[in-house]
Amino acid sequence: MTITAAMVKELRERTGVGMMDCKKALVECDGNMDAAIEFLRKKGMATAQKKASRIAAEGLTTVLISEDQKHGAIVEVNSETDFVAKNELFRTFVADVAAQALACGNIEMETFMASPWHLDTAQTVKDALVAKVAVIGENLQIRRYEVVDSPSYVGSYIHGGGRISALVSLESEFVNDEVKSAAKDIAMQVASMSPRYITREDIPAEVLEHERNILVEQAQQDPKNAKKPLEILGKMVEGRLNKQMKDICLVDQIYFRDNEITVGKYLEQVAKSVGCPIKVAYFVRYETGEGIEKKQEDFAAEVAKQMGM
């Protein structure tokens, strides 16, 4: 069967694979379009498996908010290099993953990867990922995602072109431009200051006790405290503990736009202006590659090795 340019073009548009690979697939499958797509998927799968052992610690985070602004998805998709993370094809794929996440809601990652891909229901999310690995040529990983729901409003912020993203769920009887602006500001606070909890009451008792024990041990080992009464040492430890907890609790942090007030005070000001209580119900923050051990490359040694030095 004669393989025409139109056939190659159609296959490329349907798979995103290069022109020459599309032509080879059509030749191999005697012009059968569906068989050629399956052929490329299998080839892509083999390519992905070869690359799967490579560490993917770069990439992007992003967020997507629903039309009613009451639901938001945050995702992290990793690549091997920062160069690929800046590639428009990769950035578009990350945005598509966010749309998939928003549609699927919070499900197990294995179930998510097996769900029909929203741009082509004949594919799964995993199939779409494998196809991108084949095209881009690097190991790619959909590392994590979360969907945040709110009865009122979900605010978002993306920093550094996708290096850090944050979602914030605000609860408010009224939602106007001032509330929406506050939600974005809180999301910016979360992105920049990386709180772990909303309020002191949210901190688990075991976390408090663990931090208290560390401070007690530090105080006892400091020679300057050798002659201080236990009562004084106890007050010192509690003072330091309170300061630490304020640093990790969102409402106790210094508000980034006004270092004279806390985030909690800022929300009180907005609530007074709007005329109803405003509460941060939930937040989530993703930073690209956090917690992933990156491979340390010694380029000088690599060049020397290749030159036989």
What pLDDT digit, counting tens, does each position of 142-157 carry?
999 999 999 999 999 9
Domain boundaries, the chain: 5-51, 54-149
What pLDDT digit, counting tens, does each position of 52-100 carry?
445 556 899 999 999 999 999 999 999 988 888 889 999 999 999 999 9
Which carries the bigger pLDDT value, residue 215 or residue 45?
A: 215
- Between CA 33 and CA 27 the distance in angstroms is 10
Superfamily of domain 54-149: Elongation factor Ts, dimerisation domain (3.30.479.20)
What pLDDT digit, counting tens, does each position of 121-144 carry?
999 999 999 999 988 888 899 999
- Between CA 208 and CA 214 the distance in angstroms is 10
Quick one: pLDDT band at residue 303, thresholds 50, 70, 90? Answer: very low
Quick one: pLDDT band at residue 239, thresholds 50, 70, 90? Answer: confident
Assign a CATH topology to domain 5-51: Helicase, Ruva Protein; domain 3 (1.10.8)
Which carries the bigger pLDDT value, residue 57 or residue 234?
A: 234
- Between CA 279 and CA 170 the distance in angstroms is 6
Tell me the pLDDT of the chain averaged across its residues: 87
Q: Is 31 left (phi over 0), alpha (psi -120 to 50) or beta?
A: left
Any idea which residue has 């790619």 for tokens? 140
User: Fold match between 5-51 and 54-149?
Assistant: no
Q: Is the pLDDT of residue 304 over 60?
A: no
Q: Which residues contact 220 (CB under 8 A, 6 or more apart)?
A: 233
Given a contact cutoff of 8 angstroms between Cβ atoms, the answer to whether 101 and 75 are in contact is: yes
